[in-house]
Structure 1
Amino acid sequence: MGLLSSFHCIAMCGPIALALPVQKGDKFQQFAGLAFYNTGRTFTYAALGIGLGSLGSSFAWIGYLRYLSIFAGILMVLYVLWPARLDTYFHPPKFWQKFIQHLKRQMGEMLRSRKMQSWFLLGILNGLLPCGLVYLALISSIATGNSLSGGLYMLMFGIGTLPAMMAVGFFKQWFSVSLRSNVRKITPIMLAIAGILLVMRGILIEYPVKNSANDNSIPICHGK
């Protein structure tokens, strides 16, 4: 999912990667700067996955993980069919919009820095920016059922976006508008497949049933 979503990331986050001061350095400085920036993004995704995955463990405990997985899959399919309609209903609240504006101002200051830690922090903050595909991935991380699996899911999602995001920094002349447009046409198809798989996962989940035949009771002797 991360690999296929990375072409959407190029359009949304690619300009930030291109604006990094690393473009003025040698190849090693470019690689290090882009690696620090993208590692920060992945770190944020994994941290969010751990938090939401722990929420999923409570859903699993009360038996609703099946429905959560189905709901996440349906949302993915709906996002492919009617992205504009979902963006209308699932827009962030005003307090979050103000936070995002403050976040962007902080990111603007970090873009002017030439320090590695600033680029890492820039990636961390970038991971908090609103993104429909990241939201869908986070919903899917809840459906994993526990914090460890949720964190690993989002970690792999972030790693999946790395090849394209690293490449856009090194070979920016290759990523023309027409190329990005053609490749992004594949993304909705793969997202729909991922959504269908999540729905199937929810339907096929089997919870353990207590078998009274295998219930080995402990005998208790009552003495006089």
Structure 2
Amino acid sequence: MLNNFDKISTDIDLFLENCDSLIVLGIGNDIRGDDGLGPYIINQLSILKAYVLNNSNIDDIRQEININQNENQDNEFEFFDNVIDINTGNTPLDEGIDSYIDKLNVDVNESLIERMKKTFFINGGSVPENFTGLIKKINPSHIIIIDASLMNMEAGEINIVNKDNIVDISISTHSMSLAYLIRYLELENEFNILFIGIEPESMDLSFELSDNVKESSNGLVKLLFDKILGI
């Protein structure tokens, strides 16, 4: 990841130019090792957002995320009218992100609060197509999709692919084509879409990310949150 970190940062900056509202969609199965990196990243971003907006105790934030998830599952239609981040909240805040929080010095002004309200973190799990209705309802100007991707790279390496190239290649570890997902999303509106793939090391049955993939995921969490704060 470190070899191309500057390029990734620049590519994300260029993508987020003129961003009015943003969805970050994490895809993956969090019981299959590194395949769970998408949900893991969404969890960390959700906690950081709640921390900045509420300046709350981290344990309280985790509990609130769990409560919101349970309520959303019980009343899906009400949830669609009162959109918040949708996330399992089962993954604890990683120590690497804890140290990032300690260094955060954020001016929580009205502009930042409004921007955060237009930024949504969605855990699409292994069935992201189930969230296309929600994405269309939010109708963001920009969408970032994150997934474990088999790209013949070193474990933990990060690659950015624009939506035009996604149509031509299959890089997701899942059976559902990202190209098909994007085409379906854009039946009515065209979105600015960026795909970020991370090369997995192991997708065996496990709740843990491998060390290299977790390091890369944490680096991406910090980078994305910095970018979101600066939009």
TM-score when scaled to structure 1? 0.28
Q: Between Structure 1 and Structure 2, which shows a larger proportion of strand residues?
A: 2
- Indicate the structure whose relative CO is greater, using CA pairs within 8 Å and at least 6 residues apart: 1
Q: Between Structure 1 and Structure 2, which shows a larger proportion of helix residues?
A: 1
Q: Which has the larger radius of gyration?
A: 1
TM-score when scaled to structure 2? 0.28
